[in-house]
Amino acid sequence: LEALQARFQAEVARLRLLLLEEGRALPEGSSMGA
């Protein structure tokens, strides 16, 4: 169970990093910006 949780957290961190990179690549005033 611990290994599974660690893998899940690693995946979440990777996805968050991916979203951050994508958000930075997107132009200002996109769907993310409120």
Q: Say what the pLDDT of residue 24 is.
A: 82
Residues comprising the chain, all counted: 34
Q: Say what the pLDDT of residue 22 is.
A: 83
Q: Say what the pLDDT of residue 31 is.
A: 64
Q: Residue 2 — very low, low, confident or very high, per pLDDT cuts 50/70/90?
A: very high
Kindly tell me if the per-residue pLDDT of 15 is higher than 80: yes
Tokens of 12: 């979440």
Residue 27 DSSP symbol: P
6 three-class SS: helix
